[in-house]
Structure 1
Amino acid sequence: MAEFDKPSSTEDEYFAREDIEKKRKLALQQAGQLAAQQREDLRKLHHMKCPKCGLDLHTLKKGKVEIDTCFECKGVWLDAGELEQVLHQGSENNGKVMGAILNLFKRS
């Protein structure tokens, strides 16, 4: 009767593999959560900061486009698709919008 109480080596291997797989999945899940948290922390640290000098960016609305600008280093930063919008507005207004943007950053 005692020989039936002891699990076979095949059963031990099966449960060991199952345990390892559970631990692997848990480690992958934890790594994914950590990566997401690190991305969010970086976004908070760098959001609306000038990539050139690190100071705060300010949003200026020119026509329908919001342009991120740095008054310290005179940098102008556009989000995806905004350059095309600025160029399109400039062609509609004979370049007045683009000229107004460029006038903001003329060096004295």
Structure 2
Amino acid sequence: MSNVTPDKPSHNEDDYFAREEIEAKRKLALEQSKEMAAQQRESLKQLHYMKCPKCGMDLQTLKQGNVELDSCFNCHGVWLDAGELDEVIKQHGHEGSGKVMGAILNLFKRTPPTP
């Protein structure tokens, strides 16, 4: 006769299932954390998207050739996305930064109202 009872799992088997349960819970917590971080990023994007980083007012998109400049009419800030400054310089040739800045600043010149 054997001393092994078929109804009682071995100690190693208990450890295995305990580790499996812990790993499953760890993976679930990690997924929840990633989902929460993604939701927080989306929430922040909705809160700050197209807002001036300087004064918080809405940014307006203005076309300058092939480039869309994000512009604030409250504080007169101009914001460029990655690569847009290079594109503006290409459009105006290698005439120097003064001409490029002049072209950008011309967007904000006030024209007197027509009578």
**2:83 corresponds to 1:69:** no
Deviations 1:74-95 (A, max 9, x none): 1000000000001111117887
AA aligned opposite 1:17: R
Superposition TM-score, scaled by structure 1 size: 0.87
1:1-80 matched pairs, under 5 angstroms: 3-80=5-82
Question: Which residue of structure 1 aligns with residue 103 of structure 2?
Answer: 100
Per the normalisation by structure 2, the TM-score is 0.82
Identical aligned residues as a percent: 67
Alpha-carbon distance between aligned partners in 2 of 1:9 and 1:97, rounded to the nearest angstrom: 76
More helix per residue: 1
> Number of residues paired by the alignment?
107
Unaligned runs of 5+ in 1: none
Q: Hey, what's the Cα distance between the residues in 2 that align with 1:71 and 1:93?
A: 27
Larger radius of gyration between Structure 1 and Structure 2: 2
In the TM superposition, structure 1's runs of 4+ consecutive aligned residues that sit over 2 Å from their partners are: 92-100, 103-107
Corresponding letter in the other structure for 2:48: H
Partners of 1:28 and 1:14 lie apart in 2 by: 21
Q: Which moved more, 1:43-52 or 1:95-104?
A: 95-104
